Amino acid sequence: DGKSLLFTSMEGGNWDVWEARPADPGKWWWLNRKFELRRLTSDGAREHDLRAGPKGEKVAFIKGNGDLWVMNRDGGNARRVLASWSVPDYRWAPDGRWMAFSRPDADGGYWRNVWVLPLFGKGRPVNVSRHPNPDYSPAWSPDGRKIAWVTHRWEEGAELCWVYLRKSDEEKNTRDRKLEEALKVMGGKGPGAAGPKGAGKKAGAPPASSPGKPRTSGKRRGKGAASRPARPQGGVRVEIDFKGLTERIHRIRIPGETESSPFWGPDSRTLFFRARLDAGSGLYAVKTGRRGGGSPRKVGSVTGSAPVWLPKARCFGWLAAGSPARFAPPSKFTSYTFTVPVVTDLREKMTYAFDEAWRIMRDQWYDPRMNNRNWDQIRKKYEPVASSCLGPREFQDLVDLMLGELNGSHLGFYMMSGGGMNRLFRRRRGPSPSMFKPGNFQEITWHPGVLWDQKYPGPGLKVKKVIPGGPAARKESRLRPGDLVLAVDGVPVDRSVDLTRVFNRPERRPFLMDVRDPSGKARKVSLLPVTYEKVRGLLFRELLKERLARVEKLSGGKLGYLLVEAMTMPSFEKFQAALYEAGRGKEGLIIDVRNNGGGNTADRLLTALC
């Protein structure tokens, strides 16, 4: 429903499912700055791989090493639907009553197969691929009549195949399918009834309740008469004829052996997939049909993961190169890239890494009794030391000491030479800019575009001057001389406060200011700040304007004035451009080099005056 977001978090020391809701539901998610968080699971096990059901009422997730669980969206009625020693790759059926998944055979087989699991009654999972070679990445068609997957059952590497779940669909011929499509276009109604946009409706035809309307033949249902089960919301109901199902598997013959990640188009006939074929790597599409379908065509070079069809927008939403994106068939791609600054506390990072190593052994060590050692006590013994490690070697030795408590063969912990922990150790201790790309974020002090009254004692900070051209001079974020800024982003400010607490941040985003004008009226001002370099340029122009006017007035128009900003090439070029205009028609020229930013162009400046 777009009102909540479910995710997994290690907050509190264990991986649990959490729910987030925007503090202000009237604003878009990305405009909210605060969120209400609620933990939905808390049982000591590690929850991961969340997937919402088709209606959003149910949520599935993996617990521990591979058990599949389903619960209500609010965390209630949680139940295990599949016990597994290996993490399954699962997908909800479009009616929410089935689950398709791939995993190794329950009897200990090495290769993965594709299974379907009924979520109603006491049904057991059924192997629908049933082949000694790998089958994986199942995908339901939106109409619930087909499942496609990647297979290695033929001798040409990874290929695509699909199966009709109903025997009746397999038995239909080309004429049957064309007739079915025609009826769908006509709304499935007879010639005397209103079709799409009222087509076929006869003038003067009696309404449906008219006694003159002929009845269809057949007996009326009475008490005890058989009836079909109510159709799920959306009109999709998955029905599977398991008998002879493997005989209905269809192969999609495509040259090469690199097909992967299949998903269906909204028409339930077009199958999209990733591949590296003659046309290059990218996203491809192929029409499915009993007679092999059509030839694959390249849709584009962009590929994504976790595609979800958005009916209102008529496009897929997915992740492309780690960013939200959309794919509108047949070939329109749009990406919504963004950057997020992340500040990493090295001590917390090391503690987290240690806890993760401890948890992996707890969940995956072959001996559930941990060699008769109290694994919780061992965690308490070593964890406090993790945050004090001075380098990667010390941290590696610490984890090895913990593993040594198990007295197991071939146990060891190694840090990758180019891994994130090694990069963090090479930086200063404490909060440090993130190593993530794009952009190595660096904390800077942002400027609101005003000068403060240094003599005003408080409360708040008093605006002495608004810098022309700056953020406080804009209409949507205007401040005026005499305004009092009482708080910035909820933090009270005055002369005693170190302003770097509120004006320092690694990214440029608006300050939310609590402002009171000289009459006592309060208001909120959202102000997008600028850098000190930008403000320095604005002040320079303002200073130049003031001094030009003053020299003009005091000299009676006889003297020109030039202000040198710095002894740099950009400043020298400005000096050259302004030199003639400043001296033209004047008896003298004042060249002001006071408080310039320094540099090495003094000789060029003197040469220009010769």
What per-residue confidence (pLDDT) applies to 191? Answer: 58
Residues 6+ apart with CB under 8 A from 98: 92, 116, 117, 118, 119, 238, 240
What per-residue confidence (pLDDT) applies to 281? Answer: 86
Which strand ranges, in their side-by-side order, compose the sheet holding 126-127?
89-92, 98-104, 112-118, 126-127
Residue-wise pLDDT tens digits, 167-190 = 999 988 767 767 777 776 776 555
Q: Distance (Å, rounded) from C-alpha 381 to C-alpha 384?
A: 7
Q: Amino acid identity of 296?
A: P
Domain 88-185+233-301: give its CATH code. Answer: 2.120.10.30
What per-residue confidence (pLDDT) applies to 541? Answer: 87
**Longest Cα separation, the chain:** 114
Residue-wise pLDDT tens digits, 368-426 = 899 999 999 999 999 999 999 888 889 999 999 999 999 998 898 987 765 555 555 55
Q: Amino acid identity of 527?
A: L
Residues of the chain whose pLDDT is less than 50?
Answer: 194-233, 427-439
Domain 343-433: give its CATH code. Answer: 3.30.750.44
What per-residue confidence (pLDDT) applies to 13? Answer: 76
- Assigned token pair, 241: 């004829």
- CA separation, residue 389 to residues 345, 354, 432 (Å): 13, 11, 16
The CATH fold of domain 534-609: 2-enoyl-CoA Hydratase; Chain A, domain 1 (3.90.226)
What per-residue confidence (pLDDT) applies to 231? Answer: 42
- C-alpha triplet 282, 318, 63: angle, nearest 5°: 115
What is the signed CA dihedral for 423, 426, 427, 431, rounded to 10 degrees? 60
Q: Amino acid identity of 185?
A: V
What per-residue confidence (pLDDT) applies to 583? Answer: 83
Domain 444-530: give its CATH code. Answer: 2.30.42.10
Q: Distance (Å, rounded) from C-alpha 533 to C-alpha 530?
A: 8
What per-residue confidence (pLDDT) applies to 553? Answer: 92
β-bridge pairing 270-277 and 35-39:
unpaired
Domain coordinates in residue numbering, the chain: 1-84, 88-185+233-301, 304-338, 343-433, 444-530, 534-609
